[in-house]
């Protein structure tokens, strides 16, 4: 029986399987399976032109209504596959620089003070794993995967510090016995491996949990296996719905970053705390000033002679 010939995108995926992290490979495979394979089934890769791809990007944005971040990932992956085809299969050169689209994304607002108080009050009133998770997102700026990967041995209560060295992700299973499974991985970048200083009030809050759990276990599951981030997200959505809060778990991290800026914590310190590679990421992605705060800042301007 003749062996099935691999497509160019399948060949490209094989090269990535041995050269990138498994989590990155899973992301590429998902993009190829969900988006690029269906597109290249209708449009032969060797016949693509810049105009074809411009129309495809327009379809992703205006018909499928995908977010700019997802569209950007699809475009970058398609470009990488095509470049591979140019090198290995003699595809004609395409100028991807002419294929541009507006990458303005919807501003993600932090919690208002009122909503923040509701979340924190819930944490104080309910000694639950979701309370522990929310407190670390809201007042330490941790990502949900980082929180799920924490063990009590990672938390130095005496020195008010948390060591972030791992993250938990649900990815496609390698053993094929199940579709997906939890993986404990290194963070996505070296800058994400960091020590986070905790405020005193959060240390006191964590001490209420510390004596209840096994030091060697993960802090949310209190077991040798970590909590699934999906469980935390589900519980968080339930709390938000009950309190009329429009937020995702990542909103807690946005709120932390914004509050730090409002209290004049310098951006360099904040950037390192959040695990960003540079301060521009912090400013552009997470810091959203409210109208009231903008007014306060502008009103600091005074003329030499008041009217």
pLDDT in tens, 276-292: 988 888 877 766 565 56
Q: Distance between CA atoms of 263 and 229, rounded to whole angstroms? A: 30
pLDDT at 291: 59
**Whether the predicted pLDDT of 268 surpasses 70:** yes
pLDDT at 168: 96
Give the residue from 16, 26, 8 showing the smallest Cα distance to 82.
8
The answer to whether the CB of 275 falls within 8 A of the CB of 194 is: yes
Kindly report, residue by residue over 212-226, the tens digit of the pLDDT: 778 889 999 999 999
Q: Tell me the percentage of the chain whose pLDDT exceeds 90.
A: 66
Residues 6+ apart with CB under 8 A from 34: none
pLDDT at 235: 98
Question: Strands 180-185 and 167-172, how do they pair?
Answer: antiparallel
What predicted TM-score, i.e. pTM, was given to this entire model? 0.82
Kindly report, residue by residue over 15-72, the tens digit of the pLDDT: 999 999 899 999 999 999 999 999 998 888 999 999 999 999 999 988 898 888 899 9
pLDDT at 248: 96
pLDDT at 289: 60
**Whether the predicted pLDDT of 147 surpasses 60:** yes
Kindly report, residue by residue over 87-136, the tens digit of the pLDDT: 999 999 998 887 776 665 566 789 999 999 999 999 999 999 999 999 99
Q: Distance between CA atoms of 75 and 112, rounded to whole angstroms? A: 35
Cα atoms found within 13 Å of the Cα of residue 45, Cβ hemisphere only: 20
State the CB neighbour count (10 A cutoff) for residue 208: 12
Q: Domains (ranges, CATH) in the chain?
A: 8-98 (1.10.150.130), 113-293 (1.10.443.10)
Q: Identify the residue whose tokens are 């003329």.
A: 303
pLDDT at 285: 73
Q: Distance between CA atoms of 132 and 123, rounded to whole angstroms? A: 7
Q: Which residues partner with 181 through β-bridges?
A: 171
Q: Distance between CA atoms of 157 and 299, rounded to whole angstroms? A: 41
Cα atoms found within 13 Å of the Cα of residue 65, Cβ hemisphere only: 0
pLDDT at 112: 94
Q: Quick one: tokens of 112?
A: 């208002």
Q: Which residues partner with 171 through β-bridges?
A: 181
Q: What is the mean pLDDT of residues 2-15?
A: 88
Q: Distance between CA atoms of 235 and 225, rounded to whole angstroms? A: 19
pLDDT at 165: 96
Q: Distance between CA atoms of 290 and 183, rounded to whole angstroms? A: 38
Instruction: Give the lowest-confidence range in 118-122, 131-135, 189-193, 236-240.
Output: 189-193
Q: What is the mean pLDDT of residues 174-201?
A: 88
Give the residue from 158, 11, 149 showing the smallest Cα distance to 83.
11
């Amino acid at each position: 029986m003749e062996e099935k010939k691999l497509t160019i995108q399948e060949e490209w995926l094989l090269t990535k399987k041995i050269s990138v992290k498994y989590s990155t490979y899973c992301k590429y495979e998902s993009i190829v399976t969900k988006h690029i394979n269906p597109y290249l089934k209708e449009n032969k890769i060797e016949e693509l032109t810049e105009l074809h791809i411009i129309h495809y990007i327009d379809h992703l944005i205006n018909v499928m209504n995908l977010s700019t971040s997802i569209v950007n990932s699809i475009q970058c992956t398609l470009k990488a596959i095509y470049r591979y085809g140019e090198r290995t299969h003699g595809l004609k050169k395409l100028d991807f620089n002419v294929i541009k689209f507006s990458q303005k994304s919807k501003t993600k607002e932090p919690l208002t003070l009122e909503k923040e108080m509701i979340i924190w009050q819930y944490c104080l009133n309910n000694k639950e794993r979701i309370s522990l998770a929310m407190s670390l997102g809201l007042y330490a700026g941790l990502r949900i995967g980082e929180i799920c990967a924490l063990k009590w041995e990672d938390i130095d209560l005496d020195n008010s510090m948390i060591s972030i060295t791992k993250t938990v992700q649900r990815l496609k299973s390698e053993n094929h016995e199940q579709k997906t499974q939890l993986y404990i991985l290194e963070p996505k970048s070296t800058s994400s491996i960091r020590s986070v200083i905790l405020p005193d009030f959060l240390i006191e809050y964590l001490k209420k949990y510390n004596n209840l759990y096994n030091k060697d276990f993960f802090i949310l599951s209190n077991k040798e296996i970590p909590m699934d981030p999906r469980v935390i997200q589900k519980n968080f959505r339930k709390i938000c719905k009950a309190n009329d809060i429009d937020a995702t778990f990542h909103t807690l991290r946005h709120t932390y970053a914004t509050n730090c800026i409002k209290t004049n914590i310098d951006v360099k310190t904040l950037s390192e705390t959040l695990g960003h590679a540079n301060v521009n990421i912090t400013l552009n992605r997470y810091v959203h000033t409210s109208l009231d705060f903008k007014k306060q800042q502008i009103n600091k301007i005074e003329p030499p002679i008041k009217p």
